[in-house]
Amino acid sequence: MNICPHTFCHFDAETHAVDALMTLFDSVFFIDFNTRLVRGESEPVYLPANNVTPYNQIVFAHGYFSSALHEIAHWCIAGVARRKLEDYGYWYCPDGRDAQQQKEFEQVEIKPQAIERAFTLAAGRKFSVSTDNLEGAEPDREAFTQAVLKQFARYEQQGFPVRAQRFIDALQQTFGTDAEQRRATAKQMRATVKQMRATVKQMRATVKQMRATT
């Protein structure tokens, strides 16, 4: 089986980004909140400190950067009492929800995903809402997207939760420069490709002219 070397580059870059995100979260919140971001192997979960692990854990799914941001967003909303309970004391209805269950799921996801959007943009990445119900009732993705965008605009006007704003600032400082550099590099690459195409076009025209005169 042939594997494109760019695939390994992507994985390496993503792993590096996730490691940097975990380190960043630890530096921002561990001392004040005794909480760490932990790479998980399966489903995400929040685990309060216990006799085995003396710190709270935000476990995100499969090492995904986006999953980490989503779980941090939930943590930024949870109050003191909620943060003492596994998964903040909420009952999670898994994939396969009926229409009513999906509606209830989306209602509690609007604020976290609005905060996740702010995190994603601060990290220089593209955000997409998650309706998370592949095996259940068809969600109204457009309506949910608009609800998340409205909440995001409301947060921008009225202010994000304190911990969320703290992490937005940290993300911008850590990933913002890299994001700008990536955009500048991409712009330069597009300009180079455009120039190469123009050169090839000119060469073809020259060859065509030479053939016409011989």
For the chain, how big is the Rg over CA atoms in Å? 23
How many whole angstroms separate alpha carbon 61 and alpha carbon 95? 15
Helix (H, G, I), strand (E, B) or coil at 4: coil
pLDDT tens digits for range 68-82: 999 999 999 999 999
Split at pLDDT 50, 70, 90, the class of 99 is low
Does residue 141 carry a pLDDT above 70? yes
Instruction: Give 171-206 pLDDT, tens digit per residue.
Output: 999 997 555 555 555 566 567 767 777 787 888 888
Distance from first CA to last CA of the chain, Å, rounded?
49
pLDDT at 134: 42
